[in-house]
Amino acid sequence: MAQPLEGLTAIVTGAGRGLGRAEALELARLGAQVVVNDYGGPVAGGPPLLERSRELGGGSGASSAGPAEDVAAEIRAAGGRAVVHVGDVADHQQAGELVQLAIDTYGRLDILVNNAGILRDRMVFSMTEDEWDTVIRVHLKGHFNTTRFAAAHWRERSKAAGGPVHGRIINTSSEAFLAGSAGQPNYAAAKGGIVGLTTSTALALAKYGVTANAICPRARTRMTEDVFAGFGEPADGRLDPLAPEHVAPLVGYLAAPAAARVNGQLLVVHGGMVAIAERPRIAAKFDTAKELFTFEELDELLTPYYAQRPPHETFAAGEVLALKHGS
């Protein structure tokens, strides 16, 4: 019996460990040949020391094929096909080389899973310019770079074929974008930008047969171990609800022909749960009684409205959202 992704080629970025590793293994299990991308080295603007990189949740040590090659070897040992790319997807040229590697090795690219990311957490009033730029670069620019080259490939293939082709983009956002995250202004902004990139890409590429969707995963990885420190792993041998393996099946589904009608969507996934997020809806609407609003009229309309809303729907000074986030 044919596997859902048999004959298809996938790229997974940041696939040396954690979430990316689980996704790469799942795509291979479903029949895809996988390009395993991982950098494992210091990113531009980040601290050069291994200890500091570990502290901040970023790529650590010198750029090395070790983690990526371990994942590729695991795929091959199970009978699959995999090749390794060691490079920084936030570098435009290296991202192009990654996509070209998939095409040169397997003749085509069908699936792009953007997962690579780092953390540089700090409150907004203490964050440095480098901490801001580095996270935006790796998450948001990294997603754009690979998407740009993959999209060009699918557009050319579609034109040559005279019709739609199989193309799938699965991007990684976060609930930090959905609900805020006080100590992660750079991360939350990058993840929000990824949703905007995803919906724009979905509209632009639909006519070529390509879909673009984003997931908001909760997963315990090296990058999020501090975020989920208060959520203990089960002691009875059951699978951790925050294990990356809970996320990977959704990525496999979104990559498959079965998900052809799923496009421009945002899905939250963790611990055996998938939730489909709606686009923002209008909660209330106010019209001026005159030609132009005045301060007094807005005060009469909006102040009572916000005063009667439940506390969890709005934030006053000093309130903290009691929800853990990660990707």
As a whole number, the mean pLDDT across the chain is 86
- To which residue do tokens 């699959």 refer? 80
112 band by pLDDT with thresholds 50, 70 and 90:
very high
pLDDT greater than 70 at residue 83:
yes
Closest CA to 10 of 1, 18, 23: 23
Q: Which residues are catalytic?
A: 174, 187, 191
Q: What is the mean pLDDT of residues 42-54?
A: 33
So what's the pLDDT on residue 238?
Answer: 63
Q: What is the mean pLDDT of residues 256-280?
A: 94
61 band by pLDDT with thresholds 50, 70 and 90:
very low
102: left (phi over 0), alpha (psi -120 to 50) or beta: alpha
Long-range contacts: 60-63, Cβ < 8 Å, 24+? Answer: 63/39, 63/88
pLDDT-above-70 percentage for the chain: 80
Render pLDDT for 132-189 as a digit per residue (tens, 0 to 9).
Answer: 999 999 999 999 999 999 999 999 999 999 999 999 999 999 988 888 889 999 999 9
